Amino acid sequence: MTKKPYDLIIVGGGMAGASLACALADTGIHMAIIEAVPWQSDQQPSYDVRTISLSHGSRLIYESMGIWPQIDNDAVCPIHRIHVSDRGYPGIVHLDRKDAAVEALGYVIENRALGAALMARLETLEHVDVLCPAMVSDVDVDENFATLICTMDSEDITVVGKLVVIADGGRSGLREKLGFQSMTDDYCQTAIVCNVTPGKSHQHCAYERFTPSGPLAMLPMNEDHCWCVWAVNHEDVEGLIALPEDQFLGRLQQQFGDRLGRLSRAGKRYTFPLARSRVEAYTGRRVVLVGNAAHTVHPVAAQGFNLGLRDVAWLAEVLAFACGRQQDPGSSDILQQYEKIRDRDTQQVTGFTHGMIKIFTSRLMPVIAARNLGLLVTDMFPELKQVLLKRTMGLAGRQSRLARGLELRELPPKQ
């Protein structure tokens, strides 16, 4: 077995883990990335056929990292407007990029295009070692180092570092092995996602429609396609997936309505269960959790990955400051500083999405009346729209250096 000392070991080379490595590209921090799934595999989330919705704030982070210009423009569709409605009731909110004075409120991007841009950047970084495919089989943490035993090419490799970042998703086995306690709220819903061809041009408008079973989003894609994210009750999933295409589209049309005309084609349907999860603490001895390993939220308002990317931006900033001052990046002081910064944003986003689901799936008439009044009032007052836009665009609260367009290599030297 071979030991190699690292400043940072990132377990999980998907979009959150790869983004962290790229964010730290110019800091000189010596890193290892351990990823279990080969980059080009169909099972690799960073390269699959799904899409991801990036907020305006996330674009700013990727611009500061130099990633945004490298994303294939043909795989990026800007969102100019957002239309929120409650099926069967009058409440509607219209949000426009003009309300926020930005080029776009957000962007719908193919996973593989963002993944390809991140991987291309990683390949240029001399101080980053990528172990892939490799599985972590054991871990030991003491006062000075974390030691990971990895299996790669049927051989055991020992990887030693000052800090371990767990970024391997919501089903992280390493998180559980290290004793992190997670809390889960099961929404008893499953998301059906697929590509849909509408009869009318989407004109760069994203639709969020609340139905009795859960929210149904139609997100604009290039070539006037839409990406559908339809939350349905668990017991309805198998039947909907098994339907022939025309019958599936008929059921979808019934729930969504005709704002996009007649839906004429649906791509392959994928499913994933919906739940809110979070850990009691994001950090432990020489360990920190980011992205879905730390928290998962309902896809309503497309907050999940954007929240995780803000984890990445702030962790990169805290580590860059620490290493720039020759401080131990895995020390409890540094990790407590990161946790304190991230706690409020995480609590607000998880609470915001959880509250929306509870309110908009309620069948109680007083709740229905209140939520529709809230939508109508929000649509009438620009001040309320600004509050909602700041939250959905990732601009609420304290912003990281990357979100403000400041490169981490500009950090001042230790005085």
Structure confidence by residue, pLDDT tens digits, 278-310:
898 999 999 999 999 999 999 998 999 999 999
Measured distance CA(380)–CA(96) in Å, rounded: 13
> CB count, 10 Å around CB of 275?
15
Examine the pLDDT at 409 and tell me if it is beyond 70: no
Q: How many angstroms separate the Cα of 243 from the Cα of each of 238, 239, 258, 268?
A: 9, 6, 21, 12
At 42-83, the pLDDT tens digits run: 555 555 678 999 999 999 999 999 999 999 999 999 999 999
At 311-322, the pLDDT tens digits run: 999 999 999 999
Examine the pLDDT at 177 and tell me if it is beyond 90: no
Q: Is residue 289 part of a domain?
A: yes
Q: How confident is the model at residue 170 (pLDDT cuts 50, 70, 90)?
A: confident
Q: How confident is the model at residue 3 (pLDDT cuts 50, 70, 90)?
A: low
Q: What percent of the chain has pLDDT over 70?
A: 95
Structure tokens given for 341: 């910064």
The whole-chain average pLDDT of the chain stands at: 92
Q: Is residue 95 part of a domain?
A: no
Structure tokens given for 25: 């590209």
Examine the pLDDT at 326 and tell me if it is beyond 70: yes
Measured distance CA(39)–CA(116) in Å, rounded: 9
Residue 44: its pLDDT value, please?
A: 57
Residue 223: its pLDDT value, please?
A: 92
Give the count of alpha carbons within 13 A of 135, CB side only.
7
CATH assignment of the domain containing 180 = 3.50.50.60
At 198-214, the pLDDT tens digits run: 999 999 999 999 998 88
Measured distance CA(20)–CA(313) in Å, rounded: 7
Residue 154: its pLDDT value, please?
A: 87
Torsion of CA 59, 309, 55, 400, to 10 degrees: -70
Q: Is 243 helix (H, G, I), strand (E, B) or coil?
A: coil
Residue 4: its pLDDT value, please?
A: 61
CB burial string 151-170: b at 16+ within 10 A, e below = eeeeeebebbbbbbbbbbbb
DSSP calls for 282-312: SEETTEEE-GGGTEE--SGGG-HHHHHHHHH
Q: Is residue 17 part of a domain?
A: yes
Average pLDDT rounded to a whole number, residues 327-352: 95
At 130-156, the pLDDT tens digits run: 999 999 999 999 999 999 999 998 899
Domain carrying residue 56? 3-76+109-184+275-365+398-410
Nearest CA-CA partner of 255 in 275, 276, 229, 235:
229
Residue 43: its pLDDT value, please?
A: 56
Q: Is residue 65 part of a domain?
A: yes
Q: What is the CA radius of gyration of the chain?
A: 22
Measured distance CA(118)–CA(113) in Å, rounded: 9
Of the given ranges (37-41, 122-126, 267-271, 390-394), which has the lowest mean pLDDT?
37-41
Residue 48: its pLDDT value, please?
A: 60
- Residues 33 and 130: beta-carbon distance below 8 Å: yes
At 361-374, the pLDDT tens digits run: 999 999 999 999 99
Average pLDDT rounded to a whole number, residues 7-36: 95
Tell me which amino acid residue 30 is.
Answer: H
Torsion of CA 213, 270, 209, 62, to 10 degrees: 130
Residue 98: its pLDDT value, please?
A: 95
What are the φ/ψ torsions at residue 297 (nearest 5 degrees)?
-130, 165
Q: Is residue 383 part of a domain?
A: no
Q: Is residue 132 part of a domain?
A: yes
Q: How many angstroms separate the Cα of 151 from the Cα of each of 75, 132, 134, 148, 185?
A: 35, 10, 6, 10, 34
Residue 307 burial (10 A CB sphere; 0-12, 13-18, 19+):
buried
Structure tokens given for 364: 């109680």
Q: Is residue 14 part of a domain?
A: yes
Q: How confident is the model at residue 407 (pLDDT cuts 50, 70, 90)?
A: confident
Q: Is residue 304 part of a domain?
A: yes
Residue 50: its pLDDT value, please?
A: 84
Q: How many domains does the chain have?
A: 1
Residue 414: its pLDDT value, please?
A: 44
Residue 1: its pLDDT value, please?
A: 42
User: pTM (2 decimals)?
Assistant: 0.94
